[in-house]
Amino acid sequence: MASRGNWNSKVGFILAASGSAVGLGNIWRFPYTTGKNGGALFVLVYLISVIVIALPVLLAEVSLGRFSGKNPVGAFKELRPKGGWKYLGYLGVITGVMILSYYAVIAGWTVGYFVKAVTGKFNQLDSAASAQIFGGFVSDWKLQLLLLAIFIFLTVYVVSKGVSGGIERFSMILMPMLFGILILLLIRSVTLPNAAAGLEFYLKPNFDALTPKVILEAMGQAFFSLSLGMGTMITYGSYVSKGENLPSATGWIAFFDTFIAVMAGFIIFPAIFSVGMDPAGGPGLVFNILPVIFSKIPGGIIFGPLFFALLSIAALTSTISLLEVPVAYFIDEKKWHRRTAAYIVGFVTLLFGVPSALSQGGLEWFSKLPYVNMSFLDLWDLIWGNLSLSIGAFFVAIFVGWIWKSSNALMEITKGTENFKFAFFWMIAVKFISPALILVILLSKIL
Ligand code: PFF
């Protein structure tokens, strides 16, 4: 096992796993999905999903990973060599590549916006000028491809260096800095004129808007944000040492992740309503509004670049975890070298990323696909970032609850702690509540 690598400390695991969880999902995807789905009601369903559906799955994945010490394919194979369970692992490996392919496009935007912020493009900006900058930026297809390639290369580079040297060191220092700037932005945003309208949109639920689509998207967002349903947390769990207290570690991870997403909403919506933008503006929402907030902050010239730099790094700690799943698979199961695996998978991901990079105006056809009437990036996010993760999480819960059996999982979980107060609730959740709700929600949307 030692040769696979391990985290150096308990804090190291919490920070690395939080680094995976906290990323564009919190600061880009959560606000725009909330805006698209009508605001506060979505937030409420999201919070319930995190606690009731996602958190039990998080503990299930991490314990499965630590017990088996393997990537998702290896973990399922080891516990159930016969039967189709290993295909659940393969689904995770493929999902990792597919999510990374478009996630890296948005991560490329954060790098592009860092450069714009440094070169003073965001001074004295109103919302119309900001929208114009964004439109020009995303439809410049050469630039989009370049940024995508840069980001994938960065990810490959860190992953090729290995688990604790690369991933852990990054997460340790930078997450607290990002948090600091978010607080600053929050204070500015909620004190803007007409911020109250944004707060109302964000906090006052309209129960008439409750639809299967809202519930499905909220649940999908919970899995996406906590990096669940594709074996990331199985893989990260496999690097955790036995003495560690898993319930407390996973509780902290979910808490940090949710806290940062909720904060991002407090930054985005007051500002959106203050300048009269449409909260349902889609994937560009955050990139349209943030430069406007920075141009209204004293010292925005400094904080703007710093923020986009930190957001790029938050994205990087998530892309690393996306790539780590397929890479761990090729290392463990195919005996490839880490470097070889990282570069080859990275190259394939880059190819899959091309249509997403061209889909925000760069190439007409990818920007509005026939039949589905959405952009390639939106379609990929729906298929892989929502449906595949939900299906994966469903089968992980079934596997841990019924096949490996929750009593065995509990033995693994309690290795680092004698008193796991929520053991009974967790067992009920992972066997019944989580899988039943996921199934009902998926079916209610499809039927
Ligand atoms: N959780 C990451 C985010 O919120 O940005 C994205 C992500 C990483 C999703 C790893 C899934 C995953 F396996």
pLDDT in tens, the chain (447 residues): 334 667 666 677 888 888 899 999 999 999 999 999 999 999 999 999 999 999 999 999 999 999 999 999 999 999 999 989 999 999 999 999 999 999 999 999 999 999 999 999 998 899 999 999 999 999 999 999 999 999 999 999 989 987 656 556 666 667 788 888 899 999 999 999 999 999 999 999 999 989 999 999 999 999 999 999 999 999 989 888 888 899 999 999 999 999 999 999 999 999 999 999 999 999 999 999 999 999 988 888 888 998 999 899 899 989 999 999 999 999 999 999 999 999 999 999 999 999 999 999 989 899 999 999 999 999 999 999 999 999 999 999 999 999 999 999 999 999 988 789 999 999 999 999 999 999 999 998 777
Residues 6+ apart with CB under 8 A from 76: 85, 86, 88, 89, 399
The DSSP 8-state label assigned to residue 209 in this structure reads G
Q: What residues line ligand 1, using a CB cutoff of 6 Å? A: 20-21, 23-26, 99, 224-225, 227, 230, 232, 318, 321-322
- Gap between the Cα atoms of 113 and 290, Å rounded: 10
- Gap between the Cα atoms of 42 and 214, Å rounded: 6
Among protein residues, the one with the nearest Cα to ligand 1's atom 7 is 227
> For residue 1, what pLDDT is reported?
36
Among protein residues, the one with the nearest Cα to ligand 1's atom 3 is 25
Find out whether 181 and 263 touch, Cβ atoms under 8 Å: no
- Tally of domains in the chain: 1
Calculate how far, in angstroms, residue 128's C-alpha sits from the geometric centre of ligand 1.
Answer: 31
Check which CATH number belongs to the domain holding 442 and give it. Answer: 1.10.4160
Pocket residue to mutate for ligand 1, from 259, 312, 322, 391, most atoms within 8 A of Cβ: 322
Q: Token pair for residue 242?
A: 């036995």
Q: Nearest CA to 230 among 422, 25, 32?
A: 25
Calculate how far, in angstroms, residue 191's C-alpha sits from the geometric centre of ligand 1.
Answer: 31
Residue 3 located in a structural domain: no
Among protein residues, the one with the nearest Cα to ligand 1's atom 11 is 227
Q: Token pair for residue 236?
A: 């990260």
Residue 54 located in a structural domain: yes
Calculate how far, in angstroms, residue 95's C-alpha sits from the geometric centre of ligand 1.
Answer: 11
Residue 4 located in a structural domain: no
Q: Is 363 helix (H, G, I), strand (E, B) or coil?
A: coil
Residue 190 located in a structural domain: yes
- Cβ neighbours of 429 (radius 10 Å): 24
- Gap between the Cα atoms of 271 and 255, Å rounded: 25
Tokens 């730099």 belong to residue: 309
Calculate how far, in angstroms, residue 177's C-alpha sits from the geometric centre of ligand 1.
Answer: 20
Calculate how far, in angstroms, residue 323's C-alpha sits from the geometric centre of ligand 1.
Answer: 11
Residue 2 located in a structural domain: no
Pocket residue to mutate for ligand 1, from 225, 253, 327, most atoms within 8 A of Cβ: 225
Among protein residues, the one with the nearest Cα to ligand 1's atom 12 is 227
Tokens 């990002």 belong to residue: 178
Residue 205 located in a structural domain: yes
Q: Is 229 helix (H, G, I), strand (E, B) or coil?
A: coil
Find out whether 228 and 438 touch, Cβ atoms under 8 Å: no
- Gap between the Cα atoms of 331 and 346, Å rounded: 14
Q: Nearest CA to 397 among 99, 120, 55?
A: 55
CA distances from 351 to 102, 147, 290, 346, 358 (A): 11, 13, 30, 9, 12
Residue 27 located in a structural domain: yes
Q: Token pair for residue 29?
A: 């995807």
* CA Rg value for the chain: 21
* Model pTM score: 0.95
Print the domain residue range for 244. 10-446
Q: Nearest CA to 310 among 290, 329, 328?
A: 290
How many alpha carbons fall within 13 Å on the CB side of residue 73? Answer: 19
**Can you tell me which atom of ligand 1 is nearest the CA of 23?**
5
- Gap between the Cα atoms of 418 and 298, Å rounded: 51
Calculate how far, in angstroms, residue 9's C-alpha sits from the geometric centre of ligand 1.
Answer: 22
Calculate how far, in angstroms, residue 123's C-alpha sits from the geometric centre of ligand 1.
Answer: 32
